[in-house]
A and B are shown apart, each in its own frame.
Chain A
């Protein structure tokens, strides 16, 4: 839905001219950004897996492992918020501005719930950032992801505020499409993180 086919085509008609809408550029650029951003997470995941498999020590002294029940609830909320964001986007495409705002707000609320849940978990853990390789990887990975969630919520807030501008969507809704893409991205990253950190605990 985004990248125009970048395949080699010597057909003159296929080459795009400068007359094409600017919105398309934005989405192309944004998808390229997301692909690039996902590589940071891939690198961090790879690092985590290497540490988990090869480190001579893993859990800090006195730490048994991670509680999985509350994070699981958090995960369910965050992942289902992707569906809610999709509903919001669909409403916007059908010009139903009010229901778009409602669904969009719900997405933001679910995202905020996730951040709150993470914060509560962080506060009740028996180890810190400096406690060996386990503490280091746990806090940096979840923290870096959390930063993305917060960014996503802020961007959604911006889009919400813009939806009150008259005629904002006359030229298309690229901003909303991009933010919702970002939100799906953040969710997918979390699923991988959840599996790596919480599900894969026994070595």
Chain B
């Protein structure tokens, strides 16, 4: 489309600058209430923090490449690993997944926007605020919090310098604000999915991504308040002299662990469920087959939600938990393998006898799936009490959860970015760079995280700045893997930036996918379908079934092409 062609006025409201049109990039820096603008705001800011967290990780791996603590002081290492974890969870993963929710939920269900657009924008703008607060903690006297992202008292409330404003104080503040932002988001997403679905879109015609978003946000609503309560009490202990977690006044540090893990274990499912959603969306598209066992996969999401809320004590098997409680929570934890297994097997069955198209997005899905099967198996090992007593709090755990959080969740996020990038920017990405990104990331991830399992089995505790020489080999491998992952970011950033600036124009449905979002122009207009919302007449993923998704489908396809 050249600049002489007059624009569809709806395109001018799209969440990205249209070449030749009055420039509208400023909206990304404003209090914009359009879910698609907010989605891109979330994703862009989160990717920036991915780089921040990645740099912290590489300094840590630099420290750990030799046994002695020689690159940075141990106290600095403690701050680095604390901030690495906090940044990756609260400033990268949660926000980027909220970005996906914002971009995908309204178009997927045929809604014009979120139920509460202003609340949505307010939730987003808290993100830069707590991001800055957390970054500011690098600058206060004494440095940032160095108590790990668990912030277990009494260590976290020791406050060595005695200042009122200290790294730990800012850390709690940032985490609390992040919680408030997430609650605001959760209310919005849940209300939107419950009340704003297109005509005909019953629950069992809802795309799996929306099911998983719903399941994940339910966890936020139930779990986050508990973390908030625990964090507020921690703040009072740190700053106002209360005794909740101080044994001298009659308090108990164990209570914090219960509060913390009641949310923070399910938090993993808050992150992984939307990625299950992404897998469930993408495998059918690139295998050209319906999702195997759609209904069961959908319901399994809520199975995971329910179970995730009753497993938290498995983080405390070695904390003095009585044996009956260990056994109980071992059983509940193991049960999670069932709904998760259902999903994994359903994806594999979806691939079976398909027509696989190995695009970058598909490669990341496949890689993520293989990694997730591995992580699931080490997860069952960790759930087993006697094994966990040995490997708990060692590098085995670090290897396990990085395989989940990076090699599964972040892989899924990359897949999602490559898959929906054309839809929301109107530009195609470059497959060559994408595949290079995948190759480097896959190799780097294995090199980084598999040796960690071995170090942990041999007895290397997590969170150490120095270690005994027998662990050196595993750590050298891990560090090399980490640096490779750093290198892998280069083709990714290059791809995203150059594609958005001058990539080939994207058609409305470049992957021949089935779904409401693919019936919209790329990028979609501000109000998606506006007043002309399609009526859904069949379930999602009807590949090869020959049934139209909506009434009068040709009309919508033609309209999307015109724009």
Contact residues of A with B, CB < 8 Å? 3-4, 6-12, 14-18, 20, 24-26, 28-29, 32-33, 35-37, 39-40, 42-44, 47, 50-51, 54-58, 129-137, 140, 144
Contact = CB atoms under 8 A, between A and B. Distances in A.
B142 interface: no
Closest 3 A-B residue pairs measured CB to CB?
A133-B250, A136-B242, A39-B225
A196 to B, nearest CB: 15
A10 B188 CA distance: 23
Interface in B75-113: 110-112
A23 to B, nearest CB: 11
A118 to B, nearest CB: 18
B183 interface: yes
A196 B153 CA distance: 26
Given A12-B535, A15-B202, A43-B259, A51 B250 contact: yes
Contacts of A135: 242-243
Interface stretch (B228-236, B270-278, B382-390): B228-236
A197 to B, nearest CB: 16
B202 A14 contact: yes
A36 B183 contact: yes
Contact of B252 (A7, A10, A25, A50): A50
B335 to A, nearest CB: 23
B418 interface: no
Given A25-B116, A36-B187, A43-B229, 14 more contacts: A10-B205, A12-B202, A18-B196, A24-B195, A25-B115, A28-B191, A29-B116, A32-B187, A33-B187, A47-B259, A51-B244, A131-B249, A133-B249, A136-B249
B509 to A, nearest CB: 22
A12 B536 contact: yes
A133 B110 contact: no
Given A36-B222, A39-B226, A25 B187 contact: no
Contact of A32 (B221, B224, B243): B221
Contacts of A18: 110-112, 196, 198, 533
Contacts of B197: 15-17
B190 interface: yes
B299 to A, nearest CB: 9
Interface in B210-243: 221-222, 224-226, 228-230, 232-233, 236, 240-243
B339 interface: no
A136 B187 contact: no
A132 B259 contact: no
Contact of A57 (B112, B183, B203, B249): B249
8 contacts: A11-B202, A16-B195, A18-B196, A29-B119, A47-B259, A51-B251, A129-B240, A133-B243
A141 to B, nearest CB: 10
| Chain B interface size range | 35 or more
Contact of A28 (B183, B195, B232): B195
Given A33-B187, A136-B236, A130 B252 contact: no
Given A9-B202, A16-B195, A32 B190 contact: yes
B21 interface: no
Contacts of A50: 252, 255
A133 B244 contact: yes
A56 B202 CA distance: 55
Nearest to B116: A29
B344 interface: no
A35 B188 CA distance: 14
A39 B221 CA distance: 8
Nearest to B298: A8
A140 B250 contact: no
Q: Give the interface centre of A8, A39, A137 by most chain B CB atoms within 10 Å.
A: A39
Interface in B158-209: 183, 186-188, 190-191, 194-205
A122 to B, nearest CB: 15
Nearest to A140: B236
Contact of A36 (B119, B186, B205, B242): B186
B242 A129 contact: yes
Contacts of B537: 12
A28 to B, nearest CB: 5
Contacts of A35: 221
B202 A29 contact: no
Contacts of B203: 7-10
Contacts of A24: 195
A29 B187 contact: yes
B228 A29 contact: no
Contacts of B190: 32
A116 to B, nearest CB: 24
Contact of A16 (B116, B196, B233): B196
A14 B187 CA distance: 22
Contacts of B240: 129-130
A44 B229 contact: yes
Nearest to B530: A18
A82 B410 CA distance: 49
Contact of A17 (B187, B202, B255, B533): B533
B548 to A, nearest CB: 14
Nearest to B198: A17
Given A12-B199, A55-B252, A28 B536 contact: no
A132 B115 CA distance: 45
Given A14-B202, A18-B111, A47-B233, A29 B191 contact: yes
Nearest to B229: A43
A6 B194 contact: yes
Given A8-B204, A56-B250, A136 B229 contact: no
A47 B255 contact: yes
B242 A17 contact: no
Nearest to A21: B195
A135 B221 CA distance: 30
A40 B226 contact: yes
Contacts of B221: 32, 35-36, 39
Given A12-B536, A29-B115, A55-B250, A40 B202 contact: no
Contacts of B115: 25, 28-29
B252 A54 contact: yes
Contact of B202 (A10, A20, A55): A10
Contacts of B224: 36
Interface string B15-56: 000000000000000000000000000000000000000000
B133 to A, nearest CB: 21
Interface string B118-135: 010000000000000000
